[in-house]
């Protein structure tokens, strides 16, 4: 678990549900907030930056197992993960859990809810989670005045269509697992982490439910990958020993 940036130290203490008060004098954009980063890159004037910033509620921490929202809750906001990992899932007809995605710091949760007025899935914290929460109606309204913000929203939504398409293919257990590991590796690396050594915050069952495999299969593939020298697993700690071979395996899933 990486340490939080110092500017986040003013976040309300554990258990508090209150949004962070907007600070008119000192800007406290968080590094992980995709919107903020995008807008900063685009070189916006202070006024509009302030417009964006006042929409952001810094909420958290949520502790392991706490729900950010549940299926059927009225949809009001999307959220950028600032710290921790979020899992979204639904329960199918037989009560089985179908994991829809894992969201690492910097990634946006709740986009699939936009077309409804209620969340279509549950979101739960897998460890200690901090969020930037945006009122969606407000940010959409602001987007009408900031074209690049609108564009960013379109891009985020469109990207998620592509992601959702990935695991829809009928790939083998090996291909799925390799793609999962490569994807995690790249996403951690994109946030400054180590691309070939990280900690799995999710259980084997979570991974299985995400990849549409049985948890036993996940165990067996981990085992075999280790025997073949591709990875080294010690409980949740993972080392990717042969990233290029994993990428080859994942190639067809990730479409490269």
Which residues here bind DNA, judged by CB under 7 A?
170, 172-174, 203-205, 212-220, 222-223, 233, 235-236
Backbone phi, then psi, for 64, in 5-degree steps? -45, 125
Collapsed DSSP state (helix, strand, coil) of residue 69: strand
CB of 125 to a second copy, least distance (A): 21
Q: Least Å distance between CB 215 and DNA?
A: 5
Comparing CB distances to DNA, the nearer of 146 and 250 is 250
Residue from 4, 28, 34, 111 that binds a second copy (CB under 8 A)?
Answer: 111
Given CA atoms 4, 179, 190, 109 in this order, what sign does their dihedral have? negative
Q: Is 169 in the site for a second copy (CB under 8 A)?
A: yes
Please tell me whether residue 109 adopts helix, strand or coil conformation: strand
Q: Compute the least distance from the CB of residue 168 to DNA, in Å.
A: 13
Q: Is 251 in the site for a second copy (CB under 8 A)?
A: yes
- Joined tokens for residue 157: 């939504």
- Report whether 51 contacts 142 (CB < 8 A): yes
Cis before 71? omega within 30: no
Residue 105 near residue 125 (C-beta atoms within 8 A): no
* Site size for a second copy (CB under 8 A): 42
Q: Is 117 in the site for a second copy (CB under 8 A)?
A: no
Angle 98-101-106 from CA coordinates, rounded to 5°: 160
Q: Is 113 in the site for a second copy (CB under 8 A)?
A: yes
d(CA 195, CA 176): 18
Among 50, 63, 155, 199, binds a second copy (CB under 8 A): 155
Residue 157 binding a second copy, by CB under 8 A: yes
Of 142 and 218, which CB lies nearer to DNA in the complex structure?
Answer: 218
DSSP state of 74: B
Residues that bind a second copy (CB under 8 A): 90, 92-94, 98, 100, 111-116, 120, 140-141, 143-145, 147, 150-151, 153-162, 164-165, 167-170, 212-213, 251-252, 255
């Amino acid at each position: 678990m990486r340490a939080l940036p110092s500017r986040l130290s003013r976040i309300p203490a554990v258990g508090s549900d209150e949004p962070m008060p907007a600070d008119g004098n000192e800007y406290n954009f968080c590094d992980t907030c995709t919107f903020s980063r995008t807008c900063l890159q685009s070189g916006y004037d202070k006024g509009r930056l302030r417009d964006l910033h006042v929409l952001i509620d810094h909420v958290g921490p949520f502790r392991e197992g706490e729900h950010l929202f549940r299926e059927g809750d009225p949809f009001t906001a999307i959220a950028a993960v600032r710290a921790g990992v979020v899992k979204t899932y639904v329960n199918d007809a037989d009560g089985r859990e179908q994991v829809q995605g894992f969201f690492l710091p910097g990634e946006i949760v709740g986009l699939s809810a936009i077309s409804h007025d209620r969340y279509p899935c549950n979101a739960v914290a897998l460890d200690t989670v901090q969020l930037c929460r945006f009122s969606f109606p407000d940010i959409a309204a602001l987007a009408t005045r900031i074209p690049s913000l609108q564009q960013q929203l379109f891009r985020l939504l469109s990207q998620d269509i592509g992601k959702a398409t990935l695991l829809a293919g009928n790939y083998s257990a090996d291909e799925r697992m390799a793609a999962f590991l490569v994807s995690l590796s790249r996403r951690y690396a994109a946030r400054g982490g180590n691309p070939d050594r990280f900690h799995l915050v999710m259980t084997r069952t979570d991974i299985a439910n995400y990849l549409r495999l049985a948890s036993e299969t996940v165990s067996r593939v981990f085992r075999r990958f280790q025997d073949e020298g591709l990875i080294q697993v010690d409980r949740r700690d993972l080392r990717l020993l042969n990233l290029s071979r994993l990428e080859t395996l994942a190639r067809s899933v990730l479409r490269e």
